[in-house]
Structure 1
Amino acid sequence: MKIYTKTGDQGKTSLFGGTRVKKSNLRIDAYGTVDELNSHIGLVRDQIKDKELISDLIRIQSKLFTLGAMLATPLDKEKLKNGSDRLKIEKIQAGEIQFLEDKMDLMDQTLDPMTHFILPGGHSVVSFCHIARCVCRRAERITVELADNETIDVHILIYLNRLSDYLFVLARKLTKDNKVEEIPWKG
């Protein structure tokens, strides 16, 4: 199978279900940004040695592929003519959101309370994590705009919102793990 199809040479692509749209379509922007986020999380994962944390990030990356597939499938195309689901994967549900919350709660127990905003940086893995958090927020903003125009699964927005929080807490944990100082912003 060739990787190139030439079907996108005129600036269009297909959503899951066959609908052709411009590559500048908001839905394409949303799942493309989720894909970008996934790559940034891979970069964070490549910098750490903690096996449990690596496992957590692999789980998150897998769920981001699921989330991207959900974004690539308009709700009116989710069901096949016979009534079965077009996406033959387990969609993002409340349990995945709870997973992120539980992991944040565990990390928070080891961190000093926040008293100021924190300047990103101090160690490359911390900076990579903050970049992932910012890309996650952008994916969320684009998805909010998409939700203003089309119906999307509510779990998508909640997951992205919680994931950006998770990435912030993870950056703080990585700061502590790497024994670097959090620099507070004092405006």
Structure 2
Amino acid sequence: MTPKHPRTELDARYSAALNPRPGTEDVTATDWAEAERRLRAAEVFWITTVRPDGRLHVTPLIAAWHDGALHFSTGPGEQKARNLAGNAHCVLTTGNASLSEGLDLVVEGTAERVTDPARQEEVIAAFEEQYGDHVVSPEGTFHGLGDSIRQGDDLLFAVAPGAAYAFGHDGRVFSHTRYTFS
């Protein structure tokens, strides 16, 4: 995948720029480079997929930002894998679940299987870099992830953003940034 640089726009309708409190007049859009840094640093993501009957399915997972896309793995029998087989549109979110500080991120896109062995190795290395001992240590929760992907026991997906959003908050000042990829 070739990383794309998005058009970045502060959505003032949902940002504190319209709020008359002191300090809110300087609200700016979150730079895409900062959003990418946060995607690389995040440990827990939530994925939303669509079931065949139209109901949503949401579940936590780990994901790695690499080469302009979020990557995640799942077993072929898992609900999210079954959902993606019928409708590849999905949303991945991450943040710190606090109103007083942080940046929440939303990435909308289409999940595509990663089957090329060389690309799989790149993504496995990205998981190992991002999650360290959680993936590489025998005591790690996700130890064996790389082998599971290599052997086909887990499916590897990439979601390049079609659109993304950043919701910044520090307790007094809130921002809503929209990223458009074309």
Q: TM-score, normalised by structure 1?
A: 0.24
Highest CA radius of gyration, 1 or 2?
1
Structure with the higher helix share, 1 or 2:
1
